[in-house]
Amino acid sequence: MKIEGKTAIVTGGAQGIGEQFCRALVDHGANVIIADLKKQRGEDLCRELNKQYRSNRAKFIQCDVTSKADLQNTIHFAIKTFGRLDILCNNAGVTEIGNWEKAIEINFTSVIRGTKLAIEVMSTRNGGHGGVIINTASMGAIFPIMGGPVYSGTKFGVLGFSRSLSNLNASDGIRVNVICPAFVRTEMFEASIPNYIDSYGNDFQKKMKKHIVSPVLVARGMIQLVEDDTKNDAVMRVTGVRGIDYYKFQESKL
């Protein structure tokens, strides 16, 4: 998909990986809705991007992805403002620290809901233009993570759900792909270090050094998944060891 002139929503777009998604999409000429709980950070980013690109292509909307009404409102806002929706990055996520039930809602249920709502408006069967959905999972969707079993479970869920939509490309013109970063230096990662030290030992940070990637590299991967029309049902890894590559699962016999 040529990104210029297209419209994207990025959930959790105010900081971390989502922020870099927004920056990269605007840089490629997209209209971007930054959808996040954090009003101040989202509005600041929006202002900065519009100033930098001398445009009005970035918009912020306060959105709690666990609210169906907020997600619907975000999609309506994209269409009302820019006339269409082409790209959805279901990226908002949290650790399970303090509230594992909430982590399931944010990391998994909201990804399902966001995907379903976007399909309704993107589907060529409903008069939409088709599109691309990128769901942020984690390397913790491929390997179990000892410091975050619920987190890891939600990411396995995101991966399984997303891959089970591979037929949508043929039927509705929508490609669904998953991005699986290793450890990314963001606020989420910093906050979860004590948990990992508990599970993996005091030398966790030293051991993990080579596995840490920058959010900018993750955004580069996301752009590749959007631009390359052959990518459907792709599971992209972004790791310190291999950079950007694709994980191959056993072919289904069904």
Ligand X SMILES: CC/C=C\C[C@H](O)/C=C/C=C\C=C\C=C\C(=O)[C@@H](O)C/C=C\CCC(=O)O
- Token representation of residue 150: 């619920």
Nearer to ligand NAI, 91 or 123 (CB): 91
249 contact choice in ligand NAI, ligand X, none (CB below 5 to 8 Å, kind-dependent):
none
Nearer to ligand X, 130 or 240 (CB): 240
Residue with the two structure tokens 């994207």 = 8
Q: Does 189 bind ligand NAI (CB under 6 A)?
A: yes
Q: Binding string to ligand X for residues 116 to 135, with x set by CB under 6 A, is what?
A: --------------------
Residue 68 CB contacts under 8 Å (≥ 6 apart), including other chains: 113, 117
Binding residue for ligand X (CB under 6 A) from 25, 168, 179, 188? 188
Q: Binding string to ligand NAI for residues 35 to 74, with x set by CB under 6 A, is what?
A: -xxx------------------------xxxx--------
240 contact choice in ligand X, ligand NAI, none (CB below 5 to 8 Å, kind-dependent):
ligand X
With 0-12 CB in 10 A as exposed, 13-18 as middle and 19+ as buried, what is 226?
buried
Distance between start and end Cα atoms, the chain: 29
Which of the residues are catalytic? Answer: 151
DSSP 135-149: EE--GGGTS--TT-H
Binding residue for ligand X (CB under 6 A) from 183, 215, 221, 234? 183
Stretch that binds ligand NAI, among 43-51, 160-168, 179-187, 226-234 (CB under 6 A): 179-187
- Give the DSSP H/E element, type plus range, for residue 41: helix 39-52
Task: Indicate the DSSP class of residue 15.
Answer: S
Q: Does 136 bind ligand NAI (CB under 6 A)?
A: yes
For residues 75 and 47, what is the distance between their CA atoms, to the nearest angstrom?
Answer: 21
Residue closest to 91 by CA, chosen among 26, 186, 195:
186
State the residues that interact with ligand X by CB under 6 A. 95, 138-140, 143, 145, 148, 151, 182-183, 188-189, 192, 211, 239-242
